[in-house]
Amino acid sequence: MRKRIALGVEYDGSRYHGWQTQQDADSIQERLEWALAQVADHQVETVCAGRTDRGVHATQQVVHFDTTAHRSLRGWQLGTIQLLPDDITVIWAQEVSADFHARYSARSRHYRYVILNRLTRPGLQNGRVTWWYHELDAHKMHQAAQQLLGEHDFTSFRGKDCQAHSPV
């Protein structure tokens, strides 16, 4: 019997060319699908809530896949983790209904951008923060950020083959 499994995936995207499988480039999706296929003993295709670009990290990236393999949820999680590189992990696994879709069932998405504002460049946080050594105007930044809150029509930013149901 076919069932759908959702996973919570976390990764450091520093050495990957983004989420999506690409020819001749290492990706998170390729690594995850390979590991899942070993656990499932059949080819696995994943769908994620939102693709990330090259070098982008994720916490709680929701992914789903369909399988006929019988494994416990803990087996899916721990079996997959053992086969993944150290910079990719599965935080949780959950059986979901057949109509669940990682991308279209998502209720929200959260993005975090960190600015390190000091004279010296980062040491431990290198590659994980934006470094800016000039003085920041927090009031102006706050005013500008208010324009990002709420619902917006992103029609002008959609590609011609965009699959999203709505530009809002």
CA distances from 133 to 116, 118, 122 (A): 8, 5, 11
Selecting among 12, 24, 26, 53, the annotated active-site residue is 53
Residue 2 structure tokens: 């076919």
**Whether the Cβ atoms of residue 159 and residue 145 lie closer than 8 Å to each other:** no
Per-residue confidence at 163, pLDDT binned at 50, 70, 90?
low
What pLDDT does 128 receive? 87
53 counts as catalytic: yes
The yes-or-no verdict on residue 164 having pLDDT over 80 is no
3-state secondary structure 90-117: EEEEEEECCCCCCCCCCCCCCCCCCEEC
Share of the chain above pLDDT 70, in %: 96
Q: What is the pLDDT of residues 22-41, one digit of tens each?
A: 999 999 999 999 999 999 99
Domains in the chain, start-ordered, CATH in brackets?
A: 3-96 (3.30.70.580), 115-152 (no CATH)
